[in-house]
Structure 1
Amino acid sequence: MKGRLLKVTSGILAVVMSFSCIGRINLPVVAEEHTAHIIEAGDSYEGNPLKGMFPFSESNVAIPHSLEWFYMPVKDVQTGMNEFDWSKFEKKLQETASRGHQAIVRFYYDYPGEETGVPQFLIDGGLNMRYYNEPGDLGGAGYCPDYENKTFRQSMKNFIEDFGKKYDGDGRLGFITLGLLGFWGEWHNWPFNGSDSTKANWSISTTVYKEVLDAFDNSFNKTQLVVREPKDGIDFSKYDVGYHDDSFGYATLSKANGGQSWSFWQKVKNGKDQNKWMTNCIGGEVYPPSQNVIFSGVTPEEGGFQDFDKCIEETHASWMICAAIRKYSGVTLENARKASVKMGYDLRVSKAYYDNITTTSPLYLKVDIKNIGVAPFYYNHELWPVEIGIKKGDSVVKTWRTTWDLCDIAADGKDYSFEDVINNPDLEAGDYSIGIKVINPVENGNILGFANKNQGADGWLNLGDIRVTEKGSERETSTSKLPEETTVKPQETTTNNQETTTVNRPEETTTAVLSISATENDGNISCHIENSSGCTYSQLYIDADNNINTGYKKENAGFEYMVENGVLYYHASNDSDWGWSEVSGAGIKVTKTENEMEINISKDSLGSISEGAKVWFKALDASWNVMSTTTVEEIQKNLSDKIVISDDMEINGYQISTTLGGMRTVYSLNDTVEGQEVSEVGLIYGLGEKENIASDMFAKTDSNKVYVSKGTEEVGRFSNTFSKSRSYAMTVLFATDMVEEFTTNYCVRAYAKLKDGTYAYTNVYQYNVYDIADKLYQGKQMNNYNAHNYLYENILKKVKKDYEIIDYDWSVTVTK
């Protein structure tokens, strides 16, 4: 692992390593419980980039599309063995981009019915050009080059290498089909491949196929590649290349799914490469003779084609050429549009986590995204970045670019979390909305729309409202919203969840003979009710956000949630009307004795719990009449936390990122801590001197000078270790670059939550940024001169104006 780290040893710092450049760890600076916002689902977005059907290069068609296709002969680019003119290709590529589309391209040497694509210098050099004329099978005449010719093969490799140098990672390119070999660049010379003994054998050798695969795979590491089909004798699984089926819907399905023994997907399965779609794209062309009938509504048996939906499901195809869509109308058009949307990725945001902030607070955002499509999104943030944005009405006020990789979201329908923190969002007080947008590298390109109701036509997915208040104003916490399900109104019945017509219940006030106490533990809200004997039914009301303006209005509170007889309900509107929606999958546990009741509710079911959250309880008889109620009581936090210092954990030290401008704390722990499995890890930061703050540094603290950065077993984890069995890191960015920030003393300790719910900790260590920078600078421990000089210019000289400059050299690498 590159870099150097400041190590903690016996309470003092010894210079061992530091980082001059690190990747940003997407963890919040203050990992408090952030407010969850359910993002309402919507229809799949039509016309998303890099997927669906498209009609070659035409744009004016009824099916929204984002891709275009074009062929080009190699001779239009290559004029000598190492001489290339990309102007014609560039013109074509830019024309495609001007329409807001990405291009899929293929170069060829031999296109039946067209002029040869072989560069003239090869022909002049004596390359054997074999004439054919097959109007019935191939559509015309042409010249098939001798693909085994060594000079030809070298020129081909030179072409591929230059292609990669010029265009790998060009956002105007969606996908590249390898092409080049065989008729139309489809990697076969049918019928001149030995299957017809009356014709010459022009089959292309395995050696040539491998040379082309190797050249493309080595030259393109960003742009997705696809090839016509696997070939015998070649392990295609080792190549970073997908496939395209140019007879899609005719000879696609594997034999097990009713297809031919020689079909496209059967060949892929024979090569044990059927999981290729998880990392590399599958595309192709709807079989041309079937294009006029395959979406018409006739059955596959009647039309002589394969079930199109089954073909998509088995191959996980992302895109298809279909020239006939230019003429589609009526039912055919509607079916084609549905089929187009089913292809490829389909991203949906499930939840967003953020809070209202002050003008000086950091902005934290986490989103849970799932892929409900059949294939991944294949590009990372370098080409397709995600931005966080703040809008005031329709105007975008601020944007920040993330390093979130959408390609990390598997097409499995499960949530994948992405988070980031903006330490200084620099927002004025006011009401805004927060959202995310995927940036298309093509100017005015198709937006990448999420399958959510609030996806905007401008590309921004609205995640909800956010309020910014002046520093010192009372913090307002946004309300968690759960999706409205079929309305269920608890009724007068002995069956807990029966759905019937509404019955207005008596709401008479009675003497509060009951008593209730509620405690917020780490994962649950625990409510203890005394004097509950005689009640048949019960209702526990919860004002989770401490806001009278949300939820069911009663008792001078706004109750968003109610637990009735072990079932959790949600009240969406802000009124006193009796209308509740059942929350499915809620974690509720009710324990009853003769005179007492214990109700435990999973905090995850409630979204979040604000300071001052309240509960209220009703006891009801067998006729649903109110017997008695409690007073409204505030939920108390359970702060009891025994401090266990474990030898199975340690703080390794600190790093300074000169690229991001921030401090990172590195810590390690064993696979088991105190003999138990670990369910959560994190860091606890304290502001101030160790002797004043250490006693408040535990996981359930309520100190406003202590911040708990919660993580999971995987978030922030290093691939290698500094010590113990595993190592983690947490990066805190510099907020102001001011002297006070660099000289303020901070304390830190690591913690681990164990399987039984208890916690274990490291000792507390004190540090400040200036001291760490000084040790790194004096020891010449940065990786390069720029990083060394950064410490002087940005930290040391700011704190101490007469700080002495030290020349950088590589003579010292490690000190202890």
Structure 2
Amino acid sequence: MRKKVLISFIVLTVVGLSFLISTYFMKRSIYKRTYSYSDNILANPLMGYAPSALEDVVSDDISLVYVDITWKELEAEKGVYNWEAIEEENQFARWRDEGKHIVLRFVLDYPSDDRHQDIPEWLTDEMADPGDWYRSELGKGFSPNYADENLISYYQRAVEAMGEHWGNEELISFIELGGLGHWGEWHVDLEAGIRQLPDASVREQYIEPWLSAFPKADLLMRRSFKAAEKYQLGLYNDMAGHLTSTNEWLDWIESGGVYDQTGEKDLVAMPDAWQESPIGGEFTSSNTMKTMLVKNLEQTVHLIRESHTTFLGPKIAQNVSDNKKGYNTVLKNMGYRLWLSAADLKESGSSTELTMTWKNSGVAPFYRDWQAYVYVQDLTGRVVEKAELPLELTSLLPDTEQTVSVDLTTKDVADATKNQYRISIGIVDPMTGKDAVYFAVKGQEEQNRLVLFE
């Protein structure tokens, strides 16, 4: 009996030791590394300043440019679209080659110093009641009758045409839904004798065609309309940096309210909209850059952060000596800031498990499901393994983290600790097919492929 007990004990001991040994060798940590956060400027895609696409020179931090198109520019002759002229003037080929993306706005009324109209004459000829000429403090121009059925029908055709021409590529990444009002900002100067904008059911007809025409772009609205909530759209603020106006805009987002142009209770609370859809806009023209970037810099940054702003343009902070600090400070407080706090290599049977902790220390998410990869390179720099990361970039909200793991099958990848291999990560822009995102990691801020081990 005692002999049987002894044998059982020995068997259990051997089995237990075998289990411990196998577990040890199955996932044995062979190398760990931690990384430090950097608050340096990052020239990252789909965020930051968006100057006019007409500019000859842009600074190195620019990854977005802004394009506005009037209907008259697009379709001066009925059914004939001026693609070539628009693309040439706005340098589409250049920005595509440089990997920069576009913010687009389609405008029907752009006030200026001269009497003019921004919708084509052939269209007004077909409208029984085309609209209102105006002269106000905002400038001169022509405000179309937005309730006109002909106008709406042709508008939808124009949007469909733009979608067929531009909507299936990644170049145009954000669309600020213009269409209605001065500058496409969904308001008109009623004191100038202009009729009010139509009711919500009519206004929604200016939104719907964009949804299918540009499936790869994020759409943004000037206010938190019910339609913005319905279609999960982003928002934009063309008075960024102006305390009163921005606080009013933030109050609409927080609490909803009455649309002052029509008296409808059409503004709804969308306080978490930024978690799913981007916030854009541009700096106000009501304050000087010196006021916003020097005197009231702390206030400006607070408003930018409270808005969870991803991009601003075409009126942007001026990158000149007097404003340099303010320019950089605002830029560092827009958009996402992705980085890794730690990485760990473990032996796992015939493969090596790489585990990483990803963080976002920005004010907004990254709004694209771009694919992140792990690269294993040999001593010659040749990529011997490229593995997809199971990472949900869009759900990496500010001040959150995700831990992700991937198995690497390269033989002896553990020798990365002996300078046999370099292991790095990158996020690929589908427009260029190249790693495009810079990480907020000290010492590697200018590398769009973050080195983990070498």
**Same fold per superposition (TM over 0.5):** yes
Partner Cα separation in structure 2 for residue 446 and residue 342 of structure 1 = 23
* Shift of residue 373, structure 1, vs aligned partner: 0.8
- Give the direction of change, closer, same or farther, for the CA distance of 1:126–1:436 in structure 2 (3 Å limit): same
Map 1:484-503 → 2, pairs under 5 A: none
Distance (whole Å) between structure 1 residues aligned to residue 387 and residue 79 of structure 2? 39
Question: Are residue 417 (structure 1) and residue 410 (structure 2) matched?
Answer: no
Q: Distance in 1 between matches of 2:244 and 2:382?
A: 46
The reply on whether 1:349 has 2:340 as its aligned counterpart is yes
Name the CA distance, whole Å, in 1 between partners of 2:170 and 2:363: 23
Partners of 2:26 and 2:286 in 1: CA distance: 59
Q: Is the 1:253–1:314 contact (alpha carbons within 8 Å) kept by the matching residues of 2? A: no
* 1:34 Cα deviation from its structure 2 partner: 5.0
Q: Say yes or no: does 1:55 pair with 2:51.
A: yes
Which residue of structure 2 aligns with residue 86 of structure 1?
A: 83
C-alpha distance in 2 between matches for 1:408 and 1:445? 19
8 Å CA contact retained: 1:176, 1:226:
yes
Residue of structure 1 aligned with 2:64, choices 67, 71, 76: 67
Give matches, 1:571-590, under 5 Å. none
1:137 aligns with 2:137: yes
Letter of the 1:51 partner, please give it. Answer: M
Equivalent-residue separation in structure 1 for 2:389 and 2:163 (angstroms)? 24
The 2-side partners of 1:60 and 1:446 are apart by 24
Letter in 2 for 1:32: K
State the SS of the aligned residue for 1:365.
strand
Which secondary structure state, in structure 1, belongs to the residue aligned with residue 421 of structure 2? strand
Equivalent position of 1:298 in the other structure: 295
Larger gyration radius, structure 1 or structure 2: 1
- How many Å apart are 1:80 and its aligned residue? 7.6
Partner amino acid, structure 1, of 2:305: E
For residues 527-542 of structure 1, what are the structure 2 equivalents within 5 Å? none
Q: Tell me how far 1:453 sits from its aligned partner.
A: 2.3
Residues 394, 41 of structure 1: alpha-carbon distance in 2 compared, 3 angstrom cutoff: farther
Instruction: Tell me, yes or no, if the aligned pair for 1:456 and 1:462 is still in contact at 8 Å.
Output: no
Residue from 197, 201, 211 that aligns with 1:207: 201
Aligned partner letter, 1:333: K
CA gap of 1:401–1:291, structure 2 versus 1, over 3 A, is farther
> What is the identity, as a one-letter code, of the residue corresponding to 1:297?
V
| CA–CA separation in structure 2 for the residues paired with 1:202 and 1:31 | 71
Distance 2:390 2:382 in 1: 20
Deviations 1:113-142 (A, max 9, x none): 2753324442332364335343x5223x22
Residue 101 of structure 1 corresponds to 100
CA distance in 2, matches of 1:405, 1:220: 25
Tell me what 1:16 maps to. none
**1:89 Cα deviation (Å)?**
4.2
1:163: Cα distance to partner? Answer: 3.0
Answer yes or no: is the 8 Å Cα contact 2:126–2:150 preserved in 1: no
Structure 2 residue 273 is matched with structure 1 residue 287: no
What is the alpha-carbon distance in structure 1 between the residues aligned to residue 429 and residue 382 of structure 2? 17
Q: What is the deviation of 1:456?
A: 6.0
Of 421-430 and 289-298, more deviation after overlay is shown by 421-430
Aligned to 1:182: 181
Give 2:222's aligned amino acid: R
**Relative to 1, partners in 2 of residues 1:65 and 1:200: Cα closer, same or farther, differing over 3 Å?**
closer
Specify the alignment match of 2:158 in structure 1. 159
User: In the alignment, what sits opposite 1:43?
Assistant: 38
2:449 maps to 1:460: yes
Equivalent residue, structure 1, for 2:355: 366
Between 50-59 and 278-287, the greater mean CA deviation after superposition: 50-59
Could you tell me which amino acid in structure 1 is paired with residue 127 of structure 2? G
- Equivalenced residue count is 409
Shift of 1:276: 0.4
Amino acid at match of 2:33: I
Structure 2: distance between partners of 1:107 and 1:387? 36
- Aligned partner of 1:224 in structure 2 is 218
Counterparts of 2:348 and 2:450 in 1: how far apart (Å)?
20
Amino acid at match of 2:286: P
Moved more, 234-243 or 56-65: 56-65
How far, CA to CA, are the matches of 1:238 and 1:144 in structure 2? 27
- CA offsets 1:215-244 (integer angstroms, 9 cap, x no match): 22344333111111134xx35322121111
Q: Are the counterparts in 1 of residues 289 and 318 from structure 2 also a CA contact under 8 Å?
A: no
Matched, 1:375 2:355: no
CA separation of 1:252 and 1:283: change in aligned 2, threshold 3 A: farther
Question: Residue 9 of structure 2 corresponds to which residue in structure 1?
Answer: none
Q: How far apart, in 1, do the equivalents of 2:179 and 2:367 lie?
A: 24
2:36 maps to a residue whose letter is: A
User: Equivalences for 1:609-624 in 2 at 5 Å?
Assistant: none
Counterpart amino acid of residue 267 in structure 1: W
Within 5 A, what are the aligned runs for 1:520-669? none
- For residue 326 of structure 1, report the CA deviation from its aligned partner: 4.1
Identical counterparts, % of pairs:
21
Contact 1:278 1:375 in 2 (8 A): yes
Aligned to 1:122: 123
* Deviation for aligned residue 1:209: 1.6
Are 1:66 and 1:446, in contact at CA under 8 Å, matched by a contact in 2? no
Cα deviation for residue 455 of structure 1 reads 2.4
Between the aligned partners of 1:35 and 1:164, the Cα distance in structure 2 is: 52
- Distance change >3 Å, CA 425–CA 460, structure 1 → 2: farther
What do the CA deviations read for 1:484-536 (whole angstroms, capped 9, x no partner)? Answer: xxxxxxxxxxxxxxxxxxxxxxxxxxxxxxxxxxxxxxxxxxxxxxxxxxxxx
- In the alignment, is the contact (CA less than 8 A) between 2:38 and 2:445 conserved in 1? no
Equivalence for 2:374? 388
Inter-partner Cα distance in structure 1 for 2:293 and 2:447: 34
Distance 1:95 1:131, change over 3 A: farther
Aligned residue identity for 1:207: S
* Cα distance change of structure 1 residues 431 and 226 upon mapping to structure 2, 3 Å threshold: same
Q: Provide Cα deviations, 1:533-563, integer angstroms capped at 9, x if missing partner.
A: xxxxxxxxxxxxxxxxxxxxxxxxxxxxxxx
SS of match in other structure, 1:153: helix
Per-residue CA deviations over 1:127-162 (Å, capped at 9, x if unaligned) read 64335343x5223x2222211111211122222234
Per the normalisation by structure 2, the TM-score is 0.79
Q: Describe the shift of the 1:454–1:298 C-alpha distance in structure 2 as closer, same or farther (beyond 3 A).
A: closer
Q: Compute the TM-score of the two structures, normalised by the length of structure 1.
A: 0.46
Cα deviation 1:373-428 (Å, max 9, x = unaligned): 111000012xxx22221234683424525264553333242221233335567989
8 Å contact kept, 1:67–1:101: yes
Displacement of 1:349: 0.8
Q: Distance in 1 between matches of 2:124 and 2:448?
A: 50
Q: 1:94 to 1:291 in 2, by over 3 A?
A: farther
Is the CA contact 2:132–2:145 (under 8 Å) kept in the aligned structure 1? no
More helix per residue: 2
Q: Distance in 1 between matches of 2:313 and 2:367?
A: 19
The one of 255, 258, 267 aligned to 2:252: 267
Alpha-carbon offset, residue 462 of structure 1: 0.4
> Higher relative contact order by CA 8 Å / sep ≥ 6: 1 or 2?
2
- Contact kept, 8 Å, 1:357 with 1:363, in 2: the verdict is yes
**Distance of aligned partners of 1:62 and 1:156 in 2 relative to their CA distance in 1, 3 Å threshold:** closer
* Structure 2 CA distance for partners of 1:154 and 1:43, relative to 1, 3 Å: same
Q: Distance in 2 between matches of 1:365 and 1:34?
A: 10
Unaligned runs of 5+ in 1: 1-29, 301-305, 466-816
> In the alignment, residue 44 of structure 2 is paired with which amino acid?
N
Q: How does 1:227-242 map to 2 (within 5 A)?
A: 227-231=221-225, 234-242=226-234
Q: Helix, strand or coil for the counterpart of 1:339?
A: helix
**What is the rounded CA distance, in whole Å, between the counterparts of 2:411 and 2:166 in structure 1?**
36
Does the 8 Å contact 1:409/1:416 carry over to 2?
no
C-alpha distance in structure 2 between counterparts of 1:288 and 1:446, whole Å: 36
**Conserved? CA contact 1:78–1:119, under 8 Å:** yes
Give how far 1:102 is off.
1.2
Q: Secondary structure, in 3 states, of the residue corresponding to 2:252?
A: helix
